[in-house]
Copies of this chain bind each other. A is one copy, B any other.
Amino acid sequence: MGEWREECAVFGIFGADRASELAQLGLYALQHRGQESCGIVSVHDGRFFVEKGIGLVADVMTPERLAKLPGRQAIGHNRYSTTGGLNLTNTQPLTASIRGEEVAIAHNGNLVNARLIRRRLEENGSLFQTSLDTEVFLHLLAQGEGDFEQRLLAACGEVQGAYSLVLQTDRAVYGLRDPNGWRPLVLGQLETGAHVLASESCALDLLGARVLGEVQAGELVRLDAKGVTRRPFLPSAPLKQCLFEHVYFSRPDSVVFGETVDRVRRRLGRRLADEQPADADVVISVPDSSNSIALGYAEQSGIAYELGLIRNHYVGRTFIHPTQAVRDHSVRVKFNAVEAALAGRRVVMVDDSIVRGTTSRKLVALVRKAGAREVHFRVGSPPVAFPCFYGIDTPSRAELIGARLDLEEIRAFLDVDSIGYLSLEGMKACESRPDTWCDACWSGRYPIPPEPTAAKLSLEGPRLWGPTRSA
């Protein structure tokens, strides 16, 4: 339906009974960050156990499979859903035997120099078996000098871009974030004392774990039998946290980059009401991602909040096969308009962002068909005009409506009476630390420039390095 796609969720746990069951729950809470596939690797008695599958966590991680994941330490990963081929080889965590030592790794983010490193490694005889940039870490780990941690830090010195990583050996679980801190990673502690790493705090909440705080940008956290060791591993760099995590990706109940997401979104909504007021009777949200922003808009503007669009609860969870009938009925499979709430009314319709605009246009048509007299579209972020190279699967520039059309053209395309985006300044003003953000997808100011090839490719289509595999 044209939404942005996060690349992943990561999870790690050390020192807990039934570690793999807890990893499953953690991944379940993080399901929104990746719905294509999932995997868990546990360690027991020095041996690694791996279960991966295509599908949702609850479907893949059956009790039978969890029973095959013994041990008190585990890491896990969710991957986003692509429209193309499902691909078990590319699921994470990746595992490898490195100088006789087993290693597993789970990665959220995207490296900008992975192709260059890969080419160099291949020229020296390294053999790549997946098309994931994450595999670069494993090869660098296999080639460096010193012990595991020394090689890990050396590897981090070579790669550039976004990485919130969870790794494990048979003795420890590691978490680390790149020096710019693009993607979130939080550390928590269970009541039993065991430590947990997760992409968002909602995973810790589900386990009843206490949040100890974020893994800092450029920090390495080691969980082992002695407890937690934390240390910076790379010189500090300017924070470049992904502002889209607050706008769209993260769950509203999570604390991400030190802020409760729902609270930030409320402020975005209130600011949006100030920047882009509308003379209207009701405010409605495009559920569920825009609910907080729409409530903020309603609160600040004093306009009544209505449930004008209802989302089918079963959409997106089970995949409904695209028969002709499904295609014919398009967005109505996902949303329904409530005529009694809309008919004859002037409606403010609040969304968090617009990708291609095609879904928004169909939703506007639904709202109009339900009798809305006027539709004023309000967006809780600026127009997205540049692709992301740090872990979000954006369409190519040519498909981004914010890159293709000007404001009036967008208004006409959506067929609305007025359109208003929140300004970049306004958005940052809703944050307590306004200068710690990556805003490349709006501004085109890339903190670390992408590889030339990657930049080119992202304007053309999906990035595929290796063979098309399935299982």
Question: Which residues of chain A have a CB within 8 Å of any CB of chain B?
Answer: 18, 21-22, 24-25, 28-29, 31-32, 41, 47-53, 56-59, 62-63, 65-66, 68, 85, 88-89, 94-100, 102, 119, 122-129, 131, 138-139, 142-143, 202, 205-208, 251-253, 255, 260, 262-263, 288, 291-292, 295, 299, 304-305, 307, 310, 312-314, 316-321, 323-326, 329, 332-333, 336-341, 465-471
Contact = CB atoms under 8 A, between A and B. Distances in A.
Contacts of A138: 127
Given A50-B470, A471-B471, 10 more contacts: A25-B333, A58-B320, A62-B321, A88-B88, A125-B139, A253-B337, A260-B338, A262-B340, A263-B340, A291-B307
Given A310-B252, A467-B47, A125 B97 contact: no
9 closest residue pairs by CB, A with B: A317-B317, A48-B467, A125-B143, A21-B325, A260-B340, A58-B318, A50-B469, A253-B310, A58-B320
A310 B203 CA distance: 13
28 contacts: A28-B312, A31-B314, A32-B313, A47-B467, A48-B466, A48-B468, A50-B469, A51-B469, A52-B469, A58-B321, A63-B323, A65-B470, A68-B468, A97-B122, A100-B122, A102-B467, A126-B126, A127-B139, A206-B329, A252-B338, A253-B337, A255-B339, A263-B341, A292-B307, A295-B307, A314-B317, A317-B318, A318-B318
A81 B49 CA distance: 20
Copies in the complex: 4
Contacts of A50: 89, 467-470
A228 B211 CA distance: 63
A206 B333 contact: yes
A98 B123 CA distance: 9
A83 B94 CA distance: 25
B336 A253 contact: yes
Nearest to A130: B129
Nearest to A119: B100
Contact of A208 (B260, B321, B332): B332
A318 B129 CA distance: 32
A89 B50 CA distance: 10
A188 B52 CA distance: 39
Nearest to A21: B325
A471 B338 CA distance: 36
Contacts of A68: 85, 468, 470
Contacts of A207: 329
B252 A329 contact: no
A215 to B, nearest CB: 20
B63 A332 contact: no
Contacts of A305: 295, 305
Contacts of A59: 318
Given A99-B122, A122-B98, A471-B53, A18 B58 contact: no
A126 B102 contact: no
A272 to B, nearest CB: 17
Contacts of A313: 31-32, 288, 313, 316-317
Nearest to A62: B321
Nearest to A304: B299
A310 to B, nearest CB: 4
A451 B52 CA distance: 33
Contacts of A338: 252-253, 260, 262
A470 B202 CA distance: 29
B320 A63 contact: no
Tell which of A89, A251, A467 has the most Cβ of chain B within 10 Å: A467
A146 to B, nearest CB: 13
A126 B252 CA distance: 43
Given A21-B325, A202-B336, A253-B310, A319 B469 contact: no
A129 B129 contact: yes
Contact of A102 (B102, B312, B466): B466
